[in-house]
C-alpha cells in the first residue's frame, strides 16, 4: 500500500512537471510573437493553439527585435531573457579555482613581471623545477602532471560540438561558450573573471553572440584587460602537444638514404572499414601488388566488394590472424589500422578502456601483436606502419600505447585538408612532419553542397562526424547546418561522402539506409588526410608521376 502510494505520488509530480514545461514553452513561444503571456494559464495556452487564426497573426503592439543587438533582452523573449539574466548576474564562479588564482604567489610574480608567464603552469598556477610543456592556447606552460591531465580534455566534445572542459585549465562545471559555430572552445567562469577579462567580465557576459579569444575575428582586440594572453600561433602548438621529445616520429633519414629500386607495394590493413587505404593508394597512383584486409562488418564488406572486387584479399577477423597467416602473405611493406575508439574516448562515460575483454579497446593489442609478427617474418624488408585513434583518450591509455609502439603520436586535424574537424592521433614511422604535410585545395562545406538546389551552409567546417545521427547537427543548439529554400536541412549522405573524400554514392550499395551509411562513414578515415600522409611513401614504391583518379 505504501509503495503504491509513493508510486502514485511520483506519477503526479511527473505529470505536474510535464504540464508546467508545456505551459512555459507555449508562454515563451507566444511571447516571442509579441503576446502578453505572463499571466497565462494552461487554458489560455490551449485556447491560443485551438484558434488557427492566431498562428498567423502578430499583435500590432509587438516590438520588433533588433537583429544586430548584442543585448540578451533584445534577442530573446522576456521570459528567457529573465532566466538568462539571473544566470549572468550570478554565474556561480568556481570558488576552488578562484581561490587558487587569488592565493597564487607565483601568479602574482608573473603579473608583476618578476617571472615569465612561460614559467608558470596555467592549471596549478605554480612554477615547477622540472621540464614544462608549452600551453598550446595561452602564453604560459603546463607542469608534467597537469599536462597529462590537460591534454585529453581539450578534445572531448559533447553532442553540441562544444568542449566539456575549460580551454585554460581543463576545469568542468559552469563554462562560458564561444558562440562562433566553428569554434568548440569554452572557458570556466573563474578563469574568465580573474584571468581573461577581470575588468570587463560583466560586460562580456552580456555580449550575445560572444566570440572567444582564439577566434580570428576577435584576435585584433587589444588585450589590455587580459592577464593571460592568447597565442597567435596556437594552431601550430596543438601539433606538438603530445610530443615529449623534439625528435621526429618518422624516418626522415630514409628519404636521404633511399636508393633501392622501386617495387610494387604490399599492404595489410587491419580494421579496414570502407577500404580507405586502397582508395588512397590508387588515388596517388601506387602500383599495388597485394592488399590484404581484416574486416568483419558485413555492410563494410559489401561496399568494398562492390568497388574493388577481389583486389582486396579478405583475411577475416583480426583475432584469427596467426603466425601462419603472416608467413603466407609476407613480405608486407605497409601495415595500417585504427581499432575502434568508443571504449577509449573520454566522451564515452561508460568506456571500458584498453584491457576489458568485453570492450573494443583491447583490439589495440591485436594491432600490436600483428605488428610484431610482421616485423619478425618480413624477411628483413623495411615495414612502414601507421596506427590511428582518437585524441580524446585519457592520458594513461595514450602513454600505454606509446610504450607498446615505442613511439609518440602526431596529432592531425582533418580540417586542414577537408571541410570537417576530425582530430586524431597517428602513431607511425613515416618520414613526415605533420606541420609540413602537403597542402591540398582548401575546401569548405559550401564547396561540396549539391549544386542547383539552393543549398547554403551555415558553417565552414562541420564538427567531427561519428556513427550517431545527432553528430551531423552543429553548435550548442544542435542546429542542422544547411539552409535549403529558407528551411533548415541536414547534410545529405552523398555530401557527407564527399566531405570524407569518398566519391558520391560510394556507400550506396544494396539499398543501405541513410543511417547505416552514416555509421560506415563515421567510422572511416578521412580520405584527404590519409592522402596527405601517404604521399611521403611515393619515393619508395612504383607510383605514377601523375596523380591517378579515384577508382571506385
Q: How do residues 6-39 score in pLDDT, each as one tens digit? A: 555 556 666 666 677 677 777 777 776 667 777 8
What is the per-residue pLDDT across 369-425, written as a single tens digit (0 to 9) for each? 999 999 999 998 999 999 999 988 888 999 999 999 999 999 888 888 898 888 899
The region that residue 335 occupies, defined by phi over 0 for left and psi between -120 and 50 for alpha, beta otherwise, is beta
What is the per-residue pLDDT across 264-311, written as a single tens digit (0 to 9) for each? 999 999 999 999 999 999 999 999 999 999 999 999 999 999 999 999
Q: What is the pLDDT of residue 177?
A: 85
Give every CB contact of residue 3 below 8 A, 6+ residues apart in sequence.
none
The answer to whether 283 touches 552, Cβ cutoff 8 Å, is no
What is the per-residue pLDDT across 208-259, written as a single tens digit (0 to 9) for each? 778 888 885 444 444 567 899 999 888 777 777 776 654 545 555 554 445 5
| Residue 65 confidence (pLDDT) above 50 | no
CA distances from 251 to 116, 332, 432, 515 (A): 36, 18, 8, 41
The number of helices, as runs of H, and strands, as runs of E, in the chain is 20, 14
What is the per-residue pLDDT across 115-137, written as a single tens digit (0 to 9) for each? 999 999 999 999 998 889 899 99
pTM score over 0.75: no
What is the per-residue pLDDT across 453-506, written as a single tens digit (0 to 9) for each? 989 987 788 777 766 555 555 554 456 788 898 788 889 999 999 999 999 999
Q: Which residues pair with 423 in a beta bridge?
A: 413
The three-state secondary structure class of 59 is coil
Look up 143 and say whether it is catalytic: no
Of 341, 453, 536, 538, catalytic: 341
Report the distance separating Cα 158 and Cα 346, nearest Å.
Answer: 10
| Residue 90 confidence (pLDDT) above 90 | no
Amino acid at each position: 500500500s505504501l509503495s503504491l502510494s509513493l508510486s502514485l505520488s511520483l506519477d503526479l509530480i511527473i505529470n505536474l512537471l510535464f504540464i508546467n514545461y508545456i505551459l512555459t514553452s507555449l508562454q515563451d513561444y507566444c511571447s516571442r510573437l509579441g503576446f502578453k503571456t505572463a499571466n497565462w494559464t494552461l487554458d489560455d495556452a490551449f485556447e491560443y493553439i485551438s484558434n488557427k487564426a492566431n498562428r498567423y497573426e502578430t499583435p500590432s503592439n509587438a516590438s520588433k527585435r533588433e537583429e544586430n543587438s548584442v543585448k540578451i533582452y533584445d534577442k530573446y523573449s522576456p521570459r528567457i531573457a529573465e532566466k538568462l539574466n539571473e544566470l549572468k548576474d550570478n554565474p556561480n564562479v568556481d570558488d576552488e579555482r578562484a581561490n587558487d588564482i587569488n592565493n597564487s604567489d607565483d601568479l602574482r610574480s608573473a603579473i608583476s613581471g618578476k617571472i615569465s608567464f612561460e614559467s608558470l603552469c596555467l592549471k596549478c598556477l605554480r612554477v615547477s623545477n622540472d621540464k614544462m610543456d608549452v600551453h598550446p592556447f595561452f602564453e604560459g606552460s603546463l607542469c608534467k602532471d597537469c599536462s597529462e591531465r590537460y591534454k585529453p580534455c581539450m578534445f572531448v566534445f559533447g553532442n553540441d560540438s562544444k568542449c566539456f572542459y575549460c580551454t585554460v585549465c581543463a576545469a568542468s562545471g559552469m563554462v562560458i561558450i564561444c558562440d562562433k559555430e566553428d569554434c568548440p572552445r569554452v572557458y570556466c567562469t573563474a578563469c574568465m573573471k580573474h584571468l581573461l577579462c577581470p575588468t570587463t567580465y560583466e560586460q562580456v557576459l552580456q555580449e550575445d553572440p560572444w566570440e572567444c579569444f582564439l577566434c580570428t575575428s576577435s584576435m585584433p582586440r587589444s588585450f589590455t584587460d587580459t592577464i593571460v594572453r592568447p597565442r597567435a600561433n596556437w594552431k601550430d602548438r596543438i601539433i606538438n602537444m603530445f610530443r615529449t621529445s623534439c625528435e621526429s616520429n618518422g624516418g626522415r633519414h630514409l628519404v636521404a638514404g633511399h636508393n633501392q629500386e622501386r617495387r610494387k607495394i604490399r599492404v595489410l590493413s587491419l580494421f579496414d572499414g570502407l577500404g580507405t587505404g586502397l582508395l588512397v593508394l590508387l588515388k596517388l597512383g601506387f602500383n599495388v601488388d597485394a592488399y590484404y584486409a581484416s574486416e568483419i562488418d558485413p555492410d563494410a564488406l559489401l561496399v568494398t566488394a562492390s568497388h574493388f572486387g577481389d583486389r582486396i584479399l579478405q583475411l577475416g577477423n583480426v583475432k584469427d590472424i596467426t603466425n601462419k597467416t603472416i608467413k603466407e602473405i609476407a613480405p608486407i611493406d605497409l601495415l595500417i589500422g585504427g581499432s575502434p575508439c568508443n571504449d577509449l574516448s573520454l566522451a564515452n562515460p561508460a568506456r571500458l578502456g584498453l584491457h576489458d575483454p568485453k570492450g573494443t579497446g583491447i583490439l589495440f593489442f591485436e594491432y600490436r601483436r600483428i605488428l610484431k609478427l610482421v616485423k619478425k617474418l618480413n624477411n628483413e624488408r623495411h615495414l612502414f606502419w601507421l596506427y590511428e585513434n582518437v585524441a580524446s583518450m585519457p592520458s594513461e591509455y595514450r602513454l600505454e600505447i606509446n610504450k607498446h609502439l615505442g613511439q609518440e603520436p602526431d596529432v592531425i586535424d582533418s580540417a586542414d585538408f577537408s571541410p570537417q574537424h576530425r582530430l586524431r592521433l597517428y602513431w607511425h614511422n613515416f618520414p613526415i612532419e605533420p606541420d609540413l604535410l602537403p597542402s591540398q585545395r582548401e575546401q569548405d562545406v559550401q564547396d561540396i553542397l549539391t549544386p542547383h538546389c539552393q543549398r547554403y551552409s551555415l558553417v565552414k567546417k562541420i564538427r567531427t562526424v561519428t556513427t550517431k545521427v545527432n553528430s551531423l547537427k552543429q553548435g550548442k543548439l544542435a542546429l542542422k547546418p544547411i539552409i535549403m529554400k529558407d528551411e533548415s536541412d541536414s547534410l545529405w549522405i552523398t555530401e557527407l561522402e564527399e566531405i570524407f573524400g569518398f566519391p558520391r554514392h560510394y556507400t550506396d550499395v544494396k539499398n543501405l539506409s541513410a543511417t547505416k551509411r552514416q555509421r560506415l562513414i563515421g567510422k572511416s578515415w578521412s580520405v584527404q588526410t590519409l592522402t596527405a600522409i601517404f604521399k611521403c611513401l611515393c619515393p619508395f614504391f612504383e607510383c605514377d608521376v601523375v596523380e591517378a583518379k579515384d577508382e571506385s
